[in-house]
Amino acid sequence: MKITGLIIAVLTGALLIYATADFPAWGDPASPASTHVSPRYIEKTIEETAVPNMVTSVLADYRGYDTMFETTVIFSAGVACFLLLRIFRREEPEERLYRHVLTGVTIHVKKGGKLPPSDDFERIDTEWTPHDLIIKTMCRLLIPFIQLFALYVIAHGHHSPGGGFQGGVMLGASVIVLAMSQDLRTAVRRLREKVDALLCATGVFIYAGTGALCLLLGADFLNYRALAPLLNVDPIMARSHGIFIVEIGVGIAVMATMIWIYSNVSSSGKYDEGL
């Protein structure tokens, strides 16, 4: 079987390499890929969309419909993880661990046992978790800056590399860092599962909803020009603003999905103890 696989892989590779013989030369300015559709994207993006970064204008406007579905792919991945992993039946664990905050003493509480309500004890994961002051403090310091930078990346996608996907991943990472440096419960307390799931749907809804709004205003789906009267700008600028609106939607969706997938995978769907 291994030999057959090897032969198939080599043959496929050979076919693919064989075909490159008829490719245009490397970096050829006269190749079809650089002469057929790209010149319009390169030369007219400012004129037609008022976005200096042509990658953004191709991604979110000329081929914005594809990007809407790419965002939907991420959304589907989140929903799929939830559907497959999430376990709702909450079984009480055999043993819970609490740490006395002041002394650092760990207390084991057996199933059914209870601790008197007090602020002196904090629940910790059953796997041994040291009281790590350096990591916790550093992450607490870093998280606001990560989030600030993420917002910059989303907002500045029109001018520099960046946009909703990249910024959304950073926003998601900031919450995941919190979950890793503290524990999953802390992160979930900050962003409840339900809120996260609703944000996930809302993000993609903003994108597709913008498209549908254009439709309702009488233009084609996702033709941001139709938004001009609503935004009180000229149709070209409306395209630029339309791109920004959908980038925000992408950012929210990607952030929420990252967190959703992390929480489900790291706690194998139980939402109590993570990595």
Partner 1 sequence: MSQHYPTLLVTVPLLAAFIISAAGWINKRLCFPFAVATLTVAAYSCVGLLFRVLHEGVVHYRLGGWPPPWGIAYYVDQLNGLVLSVISVSALINLIASKRSIEREFPEKIGPFYTLYVLFVTGMLGITVTGDAFNLYVLLEIGSLTGYALIAMGDKDRAPLASLNYLYMGTIGACFYLLGVGYLYIVTGSLNMVDIASILPGLYQSKAVMTAFIICMVGMWIKMAFFPLHGWLPNAYTFAPSASSSLIAPLMTKVMIYVMIRFILTVFTPKFAFSTLAVSDSVVWLAVIAIVMGAIFALAQRDLKKMLTYIIVAEVGYMVGGAWLGNRAGMTGAILHIVNDALMTLCAFLVVGNIVYKVKGYSFEDLKGLFSKMPFTMGAFVIGALSIIGVPPTCGFFSKWYLISGAIQASHYGFVVALLFSSLVNVVLFFRIIEIGYYEPFGDHHGHDHHPEPMAEAPLSMLVPLFIVAAGLVLVGLYTGDIVNHIIQFVIPKGLL
Does 90 sit near partner 1 (CB under 8 A)?
no
- Minimum CB distance to partner 1, residue 185 (Å): 20
Does 2 sit near partner 1 (CB under 8 A)?
no
**How many angstroms separate the CA atoms of 223 and 8, rounded?**
46
DSSP 186-248: HHHHHS-HHHHHHHHHHHHHHHHHHHHHHHHTTS-TT-GGGGHHHHTS-HHHHHHHHHHHHHH
Given candidates 54, 70, 98, 125, which one binds partner 1 under the rule CB under 8 A?
70
* Per-residue contact flags (x/-) with partner 1 for residues 215 to 244, judged by CB under 8 A: x---xxxxxxx-------------------
Does 269 sit near partner 1 (CB under 8 A)?
no
Does 64 sit near partner 1 (CB under 8 A)?
yes
Nearest CB to partner 1, comparing residues 45 and 182:
45
Does 82 sit near partner 1 (CB under 8 A)?
yes
Q: Identify whether the C-beta of residue 133 lies closer than 8 Å to the C-beta of residue 140.
A: no
**How many angstroms separate the CA atoms of 157 and 206, rounded?**
17
Nearest CB to partner 1, comparing residues 76 and 186:
76
Structure tokens at 194: 């339900």
Torsion of CA 190, 191, 194, 196, to 10 degrees: 180
Nearest CB to partner 1, comparing residues 15 and 102:
15
Does 69 sit near partner 1 (CB under 8 A)?
yes
**Range 160-199, binding partner 1 (CB under 8 A):** 194, 197-198
Q: Identify whether the C-beta of residue 208 lies closer than 8 Å to the C-beta of residue 242.
A: no
Q: Could you tell me the strand order of the sheet in which 106-110 lies? A: 106-110, 95-100, 121-124
**Which residues form the interface with partner 1 (CB under 8 A)?**
15-16, 18-24, 31-38, 40-41, 61-66, 68-70, 72-73, 75-77, 79-80, 82-84, 86, 88, 194, 197-198, 200-202, 204-205, 208-209, 211-212, 215, 219-225
